[in-house]
Amino acid sequence: MSKYRVYELAKEFNTSSKVIIDILGRHSVTAKNHMSSVDEDAKQVIEHTFARKTGPVEENKSEKQPINAQVNQPVDNQRQRPHQSQQSQQSTPQVQVQQLQHHQSDRQNVQRQQFSNKQYQPRGQNGGLPQQQRPFQRQNQSPQNQSPQQRQQYPTDRPNQQRSQQNNQGFSGGQQNNNYRSNPQAQANRLNQQRPQWSNQNQDRPGQNRPVASTAGVSQIQQTAHNNRPSNVRTDKQQGQHSQGRRPMTPHSSGPKSSGTGGQGGRQNQHQNRHIQNSRNPQANIPAPAKAEPPKPKVIKLGESISVKDLASKLGREVSEVIKKLMLLGIMASINQEVDFETASILASEFGTSVEELPPEEDPTEIPEIEDDPKDLVYRHPVVTVMGHVDHGKTSLLDTIRQTNVTAQEAGGITQHIGAYQVMCQGKKIVFLDTPGHEAFTAMRARGAQVTDIAILVVAADDGVMPQTIEAINHAKSAQVPIIVAINKIDREGANPDRVKQQLSEHGLIPEDWGGDTIMVPVSAHKKTGLNELLEMVLLVAEMLDLKANPNRAAYGTIIEAKLDKGRGVVATVLVQKGTLRIGDSIIAGTAFGKVRAMINDRSEKVKKAEPSAPVEVLGLAEVPQAGDNLVAVDEKTARIVAEKRLAKKRTEEQKQSQKVSLDELFKQIQEGNLKDLNIIVKADVQGSIEALQQSLVNLQNKEVRVNIIHAGVGAINESDVMLASTSNGLIIGFNVRPDGNARKAAENENIDIRTYRVIYDAINDVEAAINGMLAPELKEVIHGRAEVRQVFNVPKAVVAGSYVLEGKITGTSQIRLIRNGIVVHEGKVESLRRFKDDVKEIAQGYECGISLEKYRDIKEGDIMEAFSMEEVAQKPS
């Protein structure tokens, strides 16, 4: 049995869900809300209710409407009238003969069809008047009713008579009834007008095409109507009839006198004339095709997310409908915004469409992980990282453990440092990562790698918990790695393990002997005490963790560290975590790929395979991977393709990152809408300059861009200014100050635009020009070198600065900027450049020289001389 949603019925009967729910409620059918489903019987109840409502309204209207009410008809209806008159001429003698022939058999059918039609007439609902069905039906039983064949002329013939027209007709229904009472032609016309409605409605509502009305009455009506309609598609004969019906639309017959609707004045004539012209032109007579409604699918397939626009198109709905529905669900989404699968599913169900989930899209830069069968998993050794505050004894502890547990027990000892090594305790191996704990957590975890099973937190018994101790605790906690505390330096005077325990308990690490669950072992790296106990505790925790891996599968591991070795090429220390890595395996790590050429274990032995938890040096990668990259053994082709894809992705990301704000690109970025806020860091020699600059720069903002001074300070531009500019995508303006060495390097790395000025108006003009897209830098400053003044000699006519070239070179033709404590104290030319007593053209890095400046004598020890020149740069095409 078919089911119908309340809202579907509401739509079908052109009313609200609430009305439907009320009606159902009165007939003891429970429907909670608009999404509730009801069966055929319930639908029939609604149909009957609306059928009852419809009749008397028609009747009332037809009875109460004055005959001359036509004058008040809406313009649309008035425009229809000539049309109606043309249609009315279909009631030609021919047609009437047909009508008479079919009259007896059709009479009842027409009556039923009218009844059926009325179910969908909106006007019935609008009336809301006392109901009497009979009078209306009697009217329709008039022998003037047309044959079913005639009715069939319309369904596909008048698509231009769409819903709007239906509504208009609904509005003027009573008038038409009056017409046909007084004018038989108008009666035929009225029926013709109604039929397309019926047909269009059926076409418009897919729901109505469902097998409906299981109860005998309704199905009979429908069946009868169907039987009387040979087909929904017009036959040639019917088309012929129809065109016959049109034939009377000649200039003669369509004249105002023959219109049958009374004189409608010039407008009607115009309309008719248009028709006359159109009838001469068969093309023009073809009605404009109705706007095709997109199909409404019952099921759609969706991925993890979809844009509102695409969802609307999949659902065959208008975007505005979808946005509106989302708003009703409490989600404000724009056309291009993505909605997740869940939201899209709820929304689709609101439209009566069900949703199937598509499998997640595969990332071409990822190699799918192999799911291990639990029965293939076997024990693996624990991997441990040592963390703690600086100087608390991490290195000493690791060294002592390594010496006592490796050198003593393994022949040959450790000759090779590979970043990770294994020690033995009670016949079991423990793998120690030799990288500083923080890096193991921060750098590697930033790359999504987690290699550590257990963290040993070293806390000096005499120093207690320090900032980096807390940092280490937080890192381990966020990685959900169990912590074992090694309270070190207990041999020292002033060592107070209890105080350490107290402090640690304040950070959530409660010692076992205090009723907590954190293992704390007092040790001394110097005295080698407590180390065995510490290792035993590591094994105990490892046992509790039940560490397992499948050795019989393709290898998966993490790069611990990697370097380029002169003799051996790329050397990567890998911790194998799953599977077994073998010589000859094709591998990929980050963007690097290659074949395992050789493997060396932590005892410098060449090995042919490395099983889970084994640290090995791997030779054979084509380029140096990054620490934290996953290493996966795959077939050669996949390794190459995925590496290429990763490289392309990396380049795109780098490109995106390097799109930092710069004055040269500023206008372009504003135009592209990428920049709404221009963040500026201002550094100057004195506070007064800062205030002046700040004020003037803020005043430059316009509708498109807002100027924010995110930091302003006195002094040289330093690294922290650059980092701030980098994180806030800002640029730096220096007035009479220069960036120090670190800042310059950082700015180069971070692609930060540093602009330095000696005239405040130049700075303002540049920024203004950049904002308005008029900055045309023709000259660019090129720094040639820097020299430090180490001694100052006063000689007749000059002051010679005995200097040492720190970087680059100083040439006799360079311009010199004299910088004292980061502040530019002078800009000028070199007067003389000497090495020992000889004049030279240039002095290279690492050499001493004597420099004197043109017309400037105030040089002091410690000053920096920056040699630069202004060079023309090619104009970038805009």
Residues 6+ apart with CB under 8 A from 623: 570, 591, 592
Alpha-carbon separation of residue 194 from 78, 166, 173, 712 (angstroms): 16, 8, 10, 78
Contact between 817 and ligand GTP per CB under 6 A: no
Which tokens belong to 846? 């690492």
Minimum CB separation of residue 456 from ligand GTP in Å reads: 12
Residue 532 touching ligand GTP (CB under 6 A): no
Half-sphere exposure of 728 (CA within 13 A, CB side): 19
DSSP conformation class of 611: -
Residue 391 annotated as part of some ligand binding site: yes
Asked if 417 interacts with ligand GTP (CB under 6 A), we say no
Q: Is 488 near ligand GTP (CB under 6 A)?
A: yes
The span of 37-45, 331-339, 394-402, 589-597 binding ligand GTP (CB under 6 A) equals 394-402
Chosen residue from 107, 205, 246, 526 binding ligand GTP by CB under 6 A: 526
CB of 574 within 8 A of CB of 582?
no
| 436 marked as binding residue | yes
CA-to-CA distance for 424 and 409, rounded, in angstroms?
Answer: 8
Q: Which is nearer to ligand GTP, 311 or 627 (CB)?
A: 627
DSSP readout, 104-152? HHHHHHHHHHHHHHHTT-HHHHHH------HHHHHHHTSTTPPPHHHHT
Q: What is the smallest separation between the CB atom of 436 and ligand GTP, expressed in angstroms?
A: 7
Q: How far apart are CA 313 and CA 316, in angstroms?
A: 5
* Cβ atoms within 10 Å, residue 133: 17
Ligand-binding annotation for 389, yes or no, is: yes
Minimum CB distance to ligand GTP, residue 419 (Å)? 15
488 is in an annotated binding site: yes
Q: Which of 54, 113, 175, 524 binds ligand GTP (CB under 6 A)?
A: 524
Q: How many CA atoms lie within 13 A of 615 on its CB side?
A: 28
Amino acid making up residue 535: L
Does 828 belong to an annotated binding site?
Answer: no
Smallest distance, Å, CB 522 to ligand GTP? Answer: 10
Instruction: Give the nearer residue to ligand GTP in terms of CB position, either 400 or 591.
Output: 400
Radius of gyration from C-alpha coordinates of the chain: 45
Q: Which is nearer to ligand GTP, 483 or 801 (CB)?
A: 483
Compute the least distance from the CB of residue 492 to ligand GTP, in Å.
5
Looking at the Cβ atoms of 147 and 524, the one nearer to ligand GTP is 524
The reply, when asked if residue 551 is annotated as ligand binding, is no
Nearer to ligand GTP, 459 or 700 (CB): 459
Name the nearest CA neighbour of 299 among 243, 234, 224, 349. 349
Give dist(CA 316, CA 293) in Å, integer.
Answer: 8
Which position among 133, 269, 279, 396 is part of the footprint of ligand GTP (CB under 6 A)?
Answer: 396
H/E segment holding residue 460: strand 454-460
Using rule CB under 6 A, residue 393 touches ligand GTP: yes
Q: Assess 394 for contact with ligand GTP (CB under 6 A).
A: yes
- Phi–psi pair at 140, nearest 5 degrees: -75, -15
Ligand-binding site membership of 261 (annotated):
no
Query: What span, in angstroms and rounded, lies between the C-alpha atoms of 525 and 386?
Result: 13
Q: How far is the CB of 471 from ligand GTP (least distance, A)?
A: 12
Is residue 34 a contact point for ligand GTP (CB under 6 A)?
Answer: no
Q: Does 807 bind ligand GTP (CB under 6 A)?
A: no
Rounded to whole angstroms, the Cα distance separating 387 from 483 reads 10
Q: Is 391 in the site for ligand GTP (CB under 6 A)?
A: yes
How far apart are CB 398 and ligand GTP at their closest, in Å? 8
Residues of span 233-262 touching ligand GTP by CB under 6 A:
none
Minimum distance of ligand GTP from residue 453's CB (angstroms): 21
Establish if 528 lies at the interface with ligand GTP (CB under 6 A).
Answer: no
How far is Cα of residue 715 from the mean position of the Cα atoms in its chain? 42
Flag whether 242 is marked binding.
Answer: no
**Looking at beta carbons only, is 520 or 787 nearer to ligand GTP?**
520
385 marked ligand binding residue: no
Interface pick for ligand GTP out of 133, 202, 285, 395 (rule CB under 6 A): 395
88: contact with ligand GTP by CB under 6 A:
no
Q: Coil, helix or strand for 206?
A: helix
The distance of closest approach from Cβ of residue 433 to ligand GTP in the complex, given in angstroms and rounded to an integer, is 14
Residue 386 CB, nearest approach to ligand GTP (Å): 8
Euclidean distance between CA atoms 88 and 248, whole angstroms:
10
Cβ proximity to ligand GTP, 528 vs 548, nearer residue: 528
DSSP at 373: P
525 binding ligand GTP? (CB under 6 A): yes
Q: Contact region for ligand GTP (CB under 6 A) — 232-240, 335-343, 484-492, 654-662?
A: 484-492
Reduced to 3 states (helix: H, G, I; strand: E, B; else coil), residue 96 is helix
Total count of residues recorded for the chain: 878
Whether 640 contacts 593, CB under 8 Å = yes
Q: Residue 489, interface with ligand GTP (CB under 6 A)?
A: yes
393 is annotated as contributing to ligand binding: yes
| Selected range binding ligand GTP among 36-44, 488-496, 598-606, 688-696, rule: CB under 6 A | 488-496
Instruction: Please give the angle made by the CA atoms of 627, 629 and 633, to the nearest 5 degrees.
Output: 130
Element counts in the chain: helices (H) and strands (E): 29, 35
Q: How far apart are CA 69 and CA 261, in angstroms?
A: 12
Least distance in angstroms from the C-beta of 528 to ligand GTP = 9
What tokens does 549 get? 């891996």
Binding-site residue total for ligand GTP (CB under 6 A)? 15
Q: What is the smallest separation between the CB atom of 629 and ligand GTP, expressed in angstroms?
A: 25
**In Å, what is the CA distance from 231 to each residue of 117, 152, 218?**
18, 8, 20
Mask for 361-390, x = binds ligand GTP (CB under 6 A): ---------------------------x-x
Window 491 to 520, contacts with ligand GTP (CB under 6 A): 491-492
Query: Which positions make up the binding site for GTP?
Result: 388-395, 434-438, 488-491
Binding site for ligand GTP (CB under 6 A): 388, 390-396, 488-489, 491-492, 524-526
